Chains A and B, each alone.
Chain A
Amino acid sequence: MADKKHYSGSTGVVILRFDGGDYAIVSENHSGDIPSACLALLVPNAALPGRAAEAIDCLTSDGFRVVAFNQVGTDDLVYTLVKSGR
């Protein structure tokens, strides 16, 4: 993907699944340019409640936007955050 130069900035995508009850991160999938500080927060761990907002805050501070969100199963939410680089 290094040959793409359509936009001036870098792009990144994070798909974040978290528990809507305790906000612990259930799982995540990411690609592109993700700040290391945010990556450190994106660790799935049921024993760490209240991590979702912290991770989302870190990403949105870096220019990511929540562009999709869905409830999955009984309690989980899946947010997709994108930095488009435009």
Chain B
Amino acid sequence: MSIFERILEAISGLDVEEIEIKFRNGKKKKFKLDGLSGSIALERITRWLSNIDWDKVKEVEIELANGEELKFKPNGSGDSGIPAPMGPSGVVNLRFDSATYAIVSEDHSGVIPFDCLALLQPDPALPNRAAAAIDCLIEDGFEIQSFSLIGTNDLIYTIVRS
């Protein structure tokens, strides 16, 4: 398991206050949660950690809201951090009109990026939204797992990050 995966597993269900990453060149990076918790916090952390150059990391310190501290170190040169696909799991059922590409309805669970959630708003007055929503999810590591025609014109895609 990479350091990235170990961190996500360790903080699952915990309230994180701050993350500090120490790099081998002596530099540090800090990320403060500012009171965020639950899936919102986990999504922010995942996003922030995914931008770290793990090959240069010396140590990660995580301060929890209860005052506890967790420390992580890379396992070695092969521990580059981000697995592919990365991130916590999520599922989106997306129904859209195949004539207008407007989103008809959606159902989601798990960690869905905020910018994708913003696109997943059902509204017949907003055509051409389907591709943008799917692209947003694909960009975040999701894949189309199943697809089906429903009714005359609607399509339902199930898009999953496992």
| Residues of A that sit less than 8 Å from B by CB | 1, 3-7, 11-15, 17, 27, 29-32, 67-73, 76, 78, 80, 82, 84-86
A6 touching B132 by the CB < 8 A rule?
A: no
B153 touching A73 by the CB < 8 A rule?
A: yes
Enumerate chain A residues within 8 angstroms of B113, measured Cβ to Cβ: 4
Given A1-B139, A6-B140, the answer on whether A72 and B155 have CB atoms closer than 8 Å is yes
Enumerate chain A residues within 8 angstroms of B153, measured Cβ to Cβ: 72-73
Contact with A along B119-162 (1 / 0, CB 8 A): 00000000010111011101111011001110011010100000
| Residues of B that sit less than 8 Å from A by CB | 47, 50-51, 82, 84-87, 98-99, 101, 113, 115, 128, 130-132, 134-136, 138-141, 143-144, 147-149, 152-153, 155, 157
Give the residue of A17, A32, A72 whose beta carbon is less than 8 angstroms from that of B135.
Answer: A32
Give the CA-CA distance A44 to B76 in the complex, in Å.
53
Task: Name, among A12, A29, A84, the residue most crowded by chain B CB atoms within 10 Å (CB to CB).
Answer: A29
- The smallest C-beta distance from A64 to any residue of chain B, in angstroms, reads 11
Give the CA-CA distance A52 to B84 in the complex, in Å.
32
A4 touching B140 by the CB < 8 A rule?
A: yes
- The smallest C-beta distance from B119 to any residue of chain A, in angstroms, reads 9
Enumerate chain B residues within 8 angstroms of A7, measured Cβ to Cβ: 84, 139, 141
Given A32-B139, A67-B144, A70-B155, the answer on whether A14 and B98 have CB atoms closer than 8 Å is no
Enumerate chain A residues within 8 angstroms of B152, measured Cβ to Cβ: 72-73
Enumerate chain A residues within 8 angstroms of B86, measured Cβ to Cβ: 6
Task: Name, among B98, B130, B140, B149, the residue most crowded by chain A CB atoms within 10 Å (CB to CB).
Answer: B98
